[in-house]
Every structure is written in structure tokens, then in C-alpha cells.
């Protein structure tokens, strides 16, 4: 199971920023402005049935995959977590 800090980073930074990246790239605003749908989108794209059972290491890899896709294919850079 993931740490609270990691989940907060994912829900508070990765999902909203990836939502913006998808919308800016032309994906449907009506669909991708809903963060839960963005989360489901990434699970399908990355073939991850559930993130709840991922270890910290697996969840970090899931997040890094999203960040890499956004950077390479959507030209959008998601900020790294604040280390404070």
C-alpha cells in the first residue's frame, strides 16, 4: 500500500496536471476535467486494474509512467513532489 504522501502527490499534483495536459492536447474537456475519470484513463492506458494494491515502488513507477507519457507525447511536464 502506498504512503499518504505519495497518494496526496498523485491526487493533488499528477492527476490535475495530467488532466490539463490531456485537455491541452485536444482530449475532451467534458471527460478529462473530472479527475476520477483521468485516474481511470491512466489505469486503462497503463494496464493497471487497481492502484490500491500497488506497493510504494510500483505506485512510483505508475506515476513516473504518467509523467513520462505527458512529457514525451503531450509536451507537458508534471512537477516533481515537494520534498518538504
Q: In this predicted structure, what is the pLDDT of residue 82?
A: 79
Identify whether 80 is part of a domain: no
pTM for the full model? Answer: 0.92
CB 46 within 8 A of CB 62: yes
Identify whether 59 is part of a domain: yes
Instruction: Please state the domain count of the chain.
Output: 1
Identify whether 84 is part of a domain: no
Element (H, E) at 78: none
CA distance 23 to 33: 8
Identify whether 49 is part of a domain: yes
Q: In this predicted structure, what is the pLDDT of residue 83?
A: 64
Q: In the numeric block, which cell numbers belong to residue 46?
A: 497503463
Identify whether 81 is part of a domain: no
Question: What are the tens digits of pLDDT across the range 30-42?
Answer: 889 999 999 999 9
| Domain hosting residue 51, numbered range | 4-74
Question: What are the tens digits of pLDDT across the range 41-55?
Answer: 999 999 999 999 899
Amino acid at each position: 500500500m502506498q504512503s499518504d504522501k505519495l497518494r496526496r502527490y498523485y491526487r493533488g499534483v499528477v492527476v490535475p496536471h495530467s488532466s490539463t495536459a490531456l485537455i491541452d492536447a485536444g482530449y475532451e474537456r467534458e471527460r478529462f476535467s473530472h479527475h476520477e475519470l483521468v485516474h481511470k484513463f491512466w489505469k486503462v492506458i497503463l494496464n493497471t486494474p487497481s492502484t490500491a494494491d500497488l506497493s510504494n515502488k510500483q505506485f512510483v513507477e505508475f506515476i513516473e509512467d504518467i509523467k513520462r507519457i505527458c512529457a514525451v507525447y503531450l509536451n507537458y511536464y508534471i512537477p516533481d513532489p515537494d520534498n518538504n
